[in-house]
């Protein structure tokens, strides 16, 4: 593992220095191992690890290339990690969303195209029509927020928010809201966000998004507190 870690560090340094820019082809394994003064096995394992991290693209019969290093590739694993988080750690994720999502929504208010606003309006109509179907609501909820965040034009922010918005967590929240007869209220929160965006009101959009995230966070806190109380009983 020490040799593999060293090989990873050296390959990363070559990428960071510009010696291996995005899209470039790595030297053949024997040459790369000699160049770095490491064993071929260590280099091979390092390449595998960096391929899993979407830093390298191994093309069988062609060679190994540095990827585009775009945020959507490098941050792709975040969503998988969030899906595995438990209880209090999920609250930390919600806190991060509360820090980022309202500001991003406010930024979207001044960057959204008319076409994107029309798309959001259509998604909102779909949400109202699916008010009692949590599976459909998850789909439309994801599409709504993804469209808003994507409108910022910030690929890093879009990828981060997509990763933090766990489908499992969304499912739990929507199922709970439907069971508690609160789905319609939450849909109206989406409508408030939409109206603020349509008005190009940055501060109102930010405030509306903050209220919406707080609804989900409050529900999650209540569920976890109830579970903890039952476990102590």
- Please identify which residue in the block is written with the tokens 């507190």: 225
The yes-or-no verdict on residue 1 having pLDDT over 70 is: no
pLDDT band at 168 (very low <50, low <70, confident <90, very high): low
pTM listed for this prediction: 0.78
- Please identify which residue in the block is written with the tokens 């439309």: 140
**pLDDT top residue among 79 and 66:** 66
pLDDT of residue 189: 93
What is the C-alpha to C-alpha distance for residues 163 and 150, in angstroms, rounded to an integer? 13
Residue 58 Rama label (left phi>0; alpha psi -120 to 50; beta):
beta
Residue 16: count other Cβ atoms within 10 Å of its Cβ. Answer: 9
What is the C-alpha to C-alpha distance for residues 145 and 69, in angstroms, rounded to an integer? 25
The yes-or-no verdict on residue 180 having pLDDT over 80 is: no
User: Strands (DSSP E) along the chain, which ranges?
Assistant: 56-59, 63-66
pLDDT digit string (tens) for 184-202? 888 999 999 999 999 999 9
pLDDT digit string (tens) for 32-65? 999 999 999 999 999 999 999 899 999 998 999 9
């Amino acid at each position: 593992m020490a040799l593999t870690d060293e090989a990873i560090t050296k390959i990363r340094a070559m990428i960071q220095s510009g010696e291996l820019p995005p899209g470039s082809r790595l030297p053949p394994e024997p040459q790369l191992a000699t160049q770095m003064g490491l064993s071929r096995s260590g280099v091979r394992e390092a390449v595998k690890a960096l391929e899993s991290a979407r830093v390298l693209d191994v093309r069988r019969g062609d060679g190994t290339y540095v990827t585009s290093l775009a945020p959507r590739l490098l941050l792709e694993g975040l969503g998988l990690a969030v899906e595995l988080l438990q209880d209090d750690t999920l609250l930390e994720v919600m806190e991060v969303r509360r820090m980022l999502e309202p500001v991003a929504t406010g930024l979207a208010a001044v960057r959204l195209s008319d076409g994107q606003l029309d798309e959001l309006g259509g998604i909102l109509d779909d949400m109202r029509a699916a008010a009692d179907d949590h599976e459909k609501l998850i789909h439309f909820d994801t599409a709504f927020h993804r469209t808003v965040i994507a409108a910022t034009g910030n690929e890093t922010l879009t990828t981060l928010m997509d990763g933090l918005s766990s489908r499992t967590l969304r499912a739990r929240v929507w199922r709970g809201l439907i069971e508690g007869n609160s789905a319609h209220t939450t849909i109206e929160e989406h409508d408030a966000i939409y109206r603020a965006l349509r008005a190009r009101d940055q501060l109102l959009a930010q405030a509306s998004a903050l209220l919406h995230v707080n609804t989900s966070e409050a529900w999650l806190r209540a569920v976890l507190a109830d579970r903890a109380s039952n476990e102590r009983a």
